[in-house]
Amino acid sequence: MNLFFLIPTGAFIVVVFWVALLKMIAHLSGWDNLKNTYETTYTHNEINYFGVSGKVGKFYYNRILNVSLSEAGLFLSVSPLFRFGHPFLLIPWSDIKNIHEKGKTLFCEVNGIQIGLSNKIHNIFKSYLSAYS
């Protein structure tokens, strides 16, 4: 076979697999359900944390979550390499329920989907939640 044919074909297969995998994770984690209500193009917030570990639904997003906090709410996104199927989300503080800590993770519930965020942002998250909810 021609090498010039195999390399682009292999690259295409890897990209299609990656996109399908990200779309499946978004669906199974609940990110798809959250996007129906909270998808946004709003990206500027007051306090930003990049590379945060967390959990959405049953899936762990290790060091790829970007979390921003503002008066408008909790902004979630993922790093660009993992963004397909994961649009930006802006969740109003009033929609965040059942806040509790377990180990080093702060959990909350949004539309029946559990979101966990690393202890890196516990205190500032709680202060925003109490101020704006």
> Per-residue pLDDT averaged across 17-45, rounded?
92
Grade residue 1 by pLDDT with cuts at 50, 70 and 90.
low
Rounded distance, CA 31 to CA 34, Å?
A: 5
> Per-residue pLDDT averaged across 52-60, rounded?
95
- Percent of the chain past pLDDT 90, that is, above it, reads 68
Kindly state the tokens that stand for 130.
């109490």
Residues in the chain: 133
Q: For 3-132, CATH number?
A: 2.30.29.30
Q: Are strands 47-56 and 59-70 parallel, antiparallel or unpaired?
A: antiparallel
pLDDT of 65 reads 95
Domain ranges of the chain: 3-132
Cβ–Cβ < 8 Å for 110, 95: yes
The predicted-structure confidence for 65-80, as pLDDT tens digits, reads as follows 999 998 889 999 999 9
Q: What are phi and psi of 45, to 5 degrees?
A: -135, 170
